[in-house]
Chain A
Amino acid sequence: MTNDASNGTLKHIRNFSIIAHIDHGKSTLADRIIQICGGLTERELKEQVLDTMDLERERGITIKAQSVTLDYKAEDGTVYQLNFIDTPGHVDFSYEVSRSLYACEGALLVVDAGQGVEAQSVANCYTAIEQGLEVLPVLNKMDLPQADPDKVSHEIEEIIGLEADNAPQVSAKTGLGMEGLLERLVSFIPPPKGDITKPAQALIIDSWFDNYQGVVSLVRLFDGTVKKGDKILMKSTGREWEVSDIGIFTPRQKSTGMLRAGEVGYIIAGIKDIHGAPVGDTITHAKTPQVERLPGFQKVKPQVYAGMFPISSDDYEDFRDALEKLALNDASLDYIPENSDALGFGFRVGFLGTLHMEIVQERLEREYGLDLLTTAPTVIYELAMEDGEVMYVSNPSKLPDMGSVNEIREPIVRANILVPQEYVGNVINECVVRRGVQLDMQVLGSQMQLVYELPMGEVVMDFFDRLKSISKGYASLDYSFERFDAAKLARLDVLINGDRVDALATIVHRDQAHQRGRSLVERMQEMIPRQMFDVAIQAALGGHVVARSTVKALRKNVTAKCYGGDVSRKRKLLDKQKQGKKRMKQVGKVEIPQDAFLAVLKVND
């Protein structure tokens, strides 16, 4: 095969992603494109939509990218191979998003014509532009009466700097403008560059573990070809594998025996562990180890940690098995055993962010039937010790004696917040309360862009929910880690009836300790039900009590009348009481509802 011929093939390939905020219609648009390209019939589409919704949910949860290879016959009769790479769309997974974008030459920025641009889309869009992608703005939901294309186009130009006057106006729901969109797509997005005759060089966009096939990697080939039976080499591990299956998704998995430069598809090579095919890694042939690694590879590191404990200690083994299974498919999930005085045996689990944490907890509960108690999330602190050592602490109760610590440093993020002007005051106040430092503030269309440096510990503490509630849901947020900064931090302990409850300890700024402590004990007082005895709740800073409250004892708890004849009604009552207690954790003699362990998250309300 000659060079020309291969480039001839490349000419008709278009690799693209869709950048969109949740609810701006990405799935519907994708389904519509698949339908137009004949990937699915109307009937199949219906099923597919359902499947995709489930899949999306699962994918959202497994944090996986996926791809679809489609044939599009343009108006001039040319048949294009469209490779649509779908990506997760949340700040927790920005690394995965960046790898997906790297595999593309272009992206559609889909914006709800009635709602305007959101911070998450902005961040992903910047990533795309930085990586040299051509970004085509698309105004979706044009069938809705509130659609305001002029305003939104203007906003896209202001905020992102993309020419949006001629942005395709579509309704993925009704199909309006879709054919025109695809024509624009093939003319606007350039074909991939690459040389089929060069040694193979492929990027792992994502990998997942399949019970039957082992690790399946979604890849983009930049140069060369990879065939079934080839010996391949993972650049990051240096290990060699034999390709047992290779092909594309249509969206169903379809073996093709080979992938060529410019194409997107999957490789299966007998890899049993997801760490053997990490996201962002480069694949080449075993015989061409000199091929360079593609730029931007990172080892994914958890940013947020929380203790997770089974409500019933009998579930510990099941919990460990479930974590093992989840980790098969989630390279970012990190866990080590943790023993809490208050909560017993569990795990300290590391996540990419709080959404990732929620997803993992939900999966553990839903798919593995576990009842778990999760403590408030915390970030990692860097400790400069007196002896010159540097250590990292991801569990407030494990903070060493402060006498041996020279300096505590907290992670700082750079946060971009987009918010309509009327709520800017609220957002600034919130950032101030959370020790934010303003770097920039700009009017962008009808919105304001605020750039802040904030301690990450403050951001993971419910900041996003808070932003939403003080902006009637309009504010959007994107952030990324910048550096560690020294700060006056200390551990705030909570004592219940005089006993320190390790799972309730938090690390706070000294200036905020009193206010946080007061707010925390008041919240806990509301959450802990009255019991047979007074429950004293104290917040203490280094042994010094800064706030206290008491849950007064119940005076009685007895069912007044018992008709001896029908015992079943009495049993029901007892069972009901037990159901209530199931959501409680016994700490000493005190029963504490699960929610109370998250009370610390709500102290800013």
Chain B
Amino acid sequence: MLSLPPLALYIHVPWCVRKCPYCDFNSHTLTDALPETAYIDALLADLDAEMANVQGRVLTSIFIGGGTPSLVSGAGYQRLLAGIRERLTLAPDIEITLEANPGTFERERFADFRRAGINRLSVGVQSFDNEALARLGRIHDAGEAVHAITTAREVGFDEVNIDLMHGLPGQTMASALADIDQALALEPSHLSWYQLTLEPNTAFYSRPPELPEEDVLADIQDAGQARLEAAGFQRYEISAWSRPGHEARHNLNYWRFGDYLGIGAGAHGKISRPGDQGLEIERRWKTRQPETYLARHHDPRGFMAGSRVLSRDEKGLEFLMNALRLSDGVPGELWRRHTGLDEARLDAHTRAPIARELMLETHARIQATPLGLLFLNDLLALCDDSVLARS
């Protein structure tokens, strides 16, 4: 009997007070009052339409991302989570994360969020340098960020993540390390420490700021890594650091190629089902525009914008795109369990990267070498090429 991968739930809140110039996510500047009630109603209707995809599984984690999900009130989340509990079985130790902006307005709601059942807060600090924050178009300052994280601890969040960027316009080694030190001083359980990249369809992409040179970026990466390790944080994924045992379970599910329902404007989901040839994997995504999404609540077309069933090679490649981001990779048996493919397919993808010493040569673990982690983009291109060359 085929066992399906674990199931998580992603909820997207598509509004922001202001769009940041580096952000390419589905976020929209809020012009009128937030249609909170209507949106939560729509989310629950969206979930109703997804129920067939649950296939009897227990929900292991929920992640509310955006946009700026902290714009929604604690009462709103109370109702949303109650609605989810009515429809789905939640694991007893379920992780429920909310992305929060560290502004004053949001901070006052942290206690309400905690009471609503949210047990992990991810705070989008990005930097503790006011000049850098202004350049990034953030609407909070360093003082508010510090205050926000302290408040989160005070109101009972044991699991707190700080989102921190490096490679910012004009950043030096010293200012990058100062950001890390300030973050560590606030004793979060988790740190997302990632390099700013200029993505298409962003303000930064059309008018690029001057970024530190490649060698400076690499130096910052090395020094920051050492600093975090010395403070007892382990790098378990390319950009994710945590105290042992405090990894983000929701993200781990992505990286292990688990399943997830996606509800909300522009949300993506991944669903596995028993298929003719082992496992059928479908990617599904919802309509992006918030107004359209709300309107679809009472529209027979529903919320879906598109879906596609992955080909054999896509399954393999997407598994590797996720799994190889983990420092320790994944156990080898996960390949068969989460893709339904045999080891010959794995070999087809990994022959070239193994030959180039970018991956470990063992079926027991699917894991990048230290070199492979540094050159993951090249590694993945090789995984892709090697199957294309054969097909």
Contacts and interface: CB of A to CB of B under 8 A. Distances in A.
A581 B381 CA distance: 10
Contact of B239 (A556, A561, A567, A578): A561
A556 B268 contact: no
A558 to B, nearest CB: 4
A253 B24 CA distance: 59
B348 interface: no
B283 A567 contact: yes
A559 B197 contact: yes
A562 interface: yes
A290 interface: no
B214 A555 contact: yes
10 contacts: A555-B221, A557-B378, A559-B238, A559-B377, A560-B194, A564-B253, A565-B10, A568-B283, A570-B321, A571-B318
Contacts of A78: none
A443 interface: no
Nearest to A559: B377
A557 B376 contact: yes
B77 interface: no
B354 interface: no
A589 B356 contact: yes
A79 interface: no
B100 interface: no
A577 interface: yes
Interface string A564-586: 11111111011001100100000
Interface string B294-326: 000000000000000000000000100110010
Question: Interface residue tally of chain A, by bracket?
Answer: 20 to 34
Given A564-B254, A566-B285, A578-B381, A555 B376 contact: no
A566 to B, nearest CB: 4
Interface stretch (B50-58, B134-142, B367-375): B367-375
Given A564-B254, A574-B377, A554 B214 contact: yes
Contact of A532 (B251, B267, B318, B375): B375
A564 B322 contact: yes
Given A563-B25, A566-B268, A567-B318, 16 more contacts: A532-B371, A555-B214, A555-B218, A555-B374, A556-B218, A556-B221, A556-B374, A556-B375, A557-B377, A558-B373, A558-B374, A559-B377, A562-B321, A565-B260, A565-B268, A567-B322
B238 A558 contact: yes
A555 B221 CA distance: 10
A558 B254 contact: no
Nearest to A576: B200
Interface in A503-527: none
Nearest to B257: A564
Query: SS class of chain A's interface: helix, strand, loop or mixed?
Result: loop
B238 A562 contact: yes
A497 to B, nearest CB: 14
B192 A561 contact: yes
Contacts of B276: none
Contacts of A554: 214, 375
B255 interface: yes
A578 B384 contact: yes
A560 B195 CA distance: 5
B380 interface: yes
B83 to A, nearest CB: 21
Contacts of A589: 356
Contacts of A561: 192, 194-195, 197, 239
B143 to A, nearest CB: 26
B220 to A, nearest CB: 11
Contact of B374 (A557, A563, A569): A557
Contacts of B384: 574, 578
Contacts of B377: 557-559, 573-574, 577
A556 to B, nearest CB: 4
Contacts of B376: 557-559
A292 to B, nearest CB: 61
Contacts of A559: 197, 238, 376-377
A567 B384 CA distance: 15
Interface in B342-391: 356, 371, 373-378, 380-381, 384-385
Contacts of A532: 371, 375, 378
User: What interface size band does chain B fall in?
Assistant: 35 or more
B32 interface: no
B50 to A, nearest CB: 14
B16 to A, nearest CB: 16
A554 B384 CA distance: 21
B322 A565 contact: no
Given A562-B238, A565-B267, A574 B197 contact: no
Nearest to B322: A564
A324 to B, nearest CB: 27
A555 B254 contact: no
B14 interface: no
A562 B325 contact: yes
Contact of B375 (A557, A565, A573): A557
Nearest to B254: A564
Nearest to B383: A574
B84 to A, nearest CB: 17
Nearest to A567: B318
Contacts of A565: 10, 65, 254, 260, 262, 267-269
Contacts of B215: 555
Nearest to B63: A565
Interface in A357-373: none
A532 B356 CA distance: 10
A560 B238 contact: yes
Contact of A567 (B192, B196, B267, B321): B321
Contacts of B65: 565
Nearest to B385: A578
A146 to B, nearest CB: 41
Contacts of B378: 532, 557
Interface string B52-89: 00000000000001000000000000000000000000
A562 B197 CA distance: 11
A572 to B, nearest CB: 8
A560 B356 contact: no
A504 B5 CA distance: 52
A230 to B, nearest CB: 58
A564 B239 contact: no
Nearest to B253: A564
B357 to A, nearest CB: 10
Given A558-B238, A565-B262, A577 B375 contact: no
Which of B215, B221, B255, B377 has the most A CB atoms < 10 Å from its CB?
A: B377
Contacts of B285: 566
A590 to B, nearest CB: 12
Interface string B262-295: 1000011110000000000001010000000000
Contacts of B196: 560
B310 to A, nearest CB: 9
A181 B269 CA distance: 76
Contacts of B380: 574
B164 to A, nearest CB: 11
Closest 6 CB pairs of A and B: A564-B254, A555-B218, A560-B195, A560-B194, A558-B376, A561-B194
B126 to A, nearest CB: 12
Interface string B9-29: 010000000000000110000
Contacts of A571: 318, 321
Nearest to B371: A532
Contacts of A558: 238, 373-377
A578 B238 CA distance: 21
Interface in A107-156: none
Contact of A560 (B239, B322, B371, B375): B239
B192 A574 contact: no
